[in-house]
Chain A
Amino acid sequence: MLNDTTSPNESIIACNLNAISADQRELHEVLSHSLFAAVQEIQTLPNGYAFRLPSTSAMILKAAEYVANERLCCPFFNFTLEIEPNERSFWLRLTGDEGVKVFIKAEFPAILDPGIVATAGL
């Protein structure tokens, strides 16, 4: 994601886009928008959010590519890809320490479907 923020308890949640090359950065932004535009449902977790995505091979690869760069920019995130059996749901979870949830709530709605955001109360 693009910005830095500080949680109420002063833990620093900082993303550094310079952690990836300029070329990669542009692609990463396009990929992020494409990935999160495909989110079908959001669940609130105690320490973050879970995003349900279409359970396709292409989407799994896209999510992995996103995580491969995002983990360099925003190393405070814990990412989990969960692929349920029999081609059921595919979930991408972004979690972390205190402040991560506030960060997601501030940064992610801009790249998500407004209807999904409203339903999730994000």
Chain B
Amino acid sequence: MQSDTTPHNEVIDEVVIACNPNAIPAEMRNQWVENGKQVYAAVLEVQETPDGYQFRLPSDSSMLLKIANYISNERLCCAFLHFTLEITPNSGPFWLRLAGGEGVKAYMRSVFEANSLLREHVAEAAGFRAA
């Protein structure tokens, strides 16, 4: 997850959850950080899923490209994440789902709570504690 540019690991029940920003090409790192901030700041709603969270985003083409750009780098940094981006028909919402194995959901929650990536009212509605 996108908290900073320092590699960090977390071991929960033998599952290693490791994000390594150095896996992203150096020239892409600033863009990855900026894209991530913009994507999560645009989130309209967060829903909990059995193995992660899903984020509702505005359905416009520029947002779609921004999300794809973010995923294309984030998947290198946090290789344990399973990304699903759903573009619903008739200009319906976009849903970005982040999921993973055991420990991933708790890890995601800790990152969102620590980094204030989401707008305050969206984070509150999702039950995330403020940093």
Contact = CB atoms under 8 A, between A and B. Distances in A.
Partners in one complex: yes
B64 A85 contact: no
Interface stretch (A34-42, A67-75, A101-109, A113-121): A67-75
- The interface size bin for chain B is 20 to 34
A83 B64 contact: no
A10 interface: no
Interface string A77-101: 1111111111100000000100000
A72 B65 CA distance: 14
Most chain B beta-carbon neighbours within 10 Å: one of A57, A65, A72: A57
Given A57-B73, A67-B64, A85-B100, A80 B81 contact: no
Contact of A96 (B65, B84, B89): B89
Contacts of B87: 67, 71, 78-80
Which 8 residue pairs spanning A and B have beta carbons closest together? A64-B68, A57-B72, A68-B61, A79-B87, A83-B83, A81-B85, A60-B72, A80-B86
Given A64-B68, A96-B89, A57 B76 contact: yes
User: Binding site of B, secondary structure by majority: helix, strand, loop or mixed?
Assistant: mixed
A64 B83 CA distance: 13
Nearest to B28: A57
28 contacts: A60-B71, A61-B65, A64-B64, A64-B69, A65-B68, A68-B65, A71-B87, A71-B91, A72-B61, A75-B89, A77-B89, A78-B87, A78-B88, A79-B87, A80-B85, A80-B86, A80-B87, A81-B68, A81-B71, A81-B85, A82-B85, A83-B82, A85-B80, A85-B81, A85-B82, A86-B80, A87-B75, A96-B89
A60 B67 CA distance: 10
Contact of A85 (B65, B79, B88): B79
A50 interface: no
A60 B91 CA distance: 21
B90 interface: yes
A92 to B, nearest CB: 10
B61 to A, nearest CB: 4
A63 interface: yes
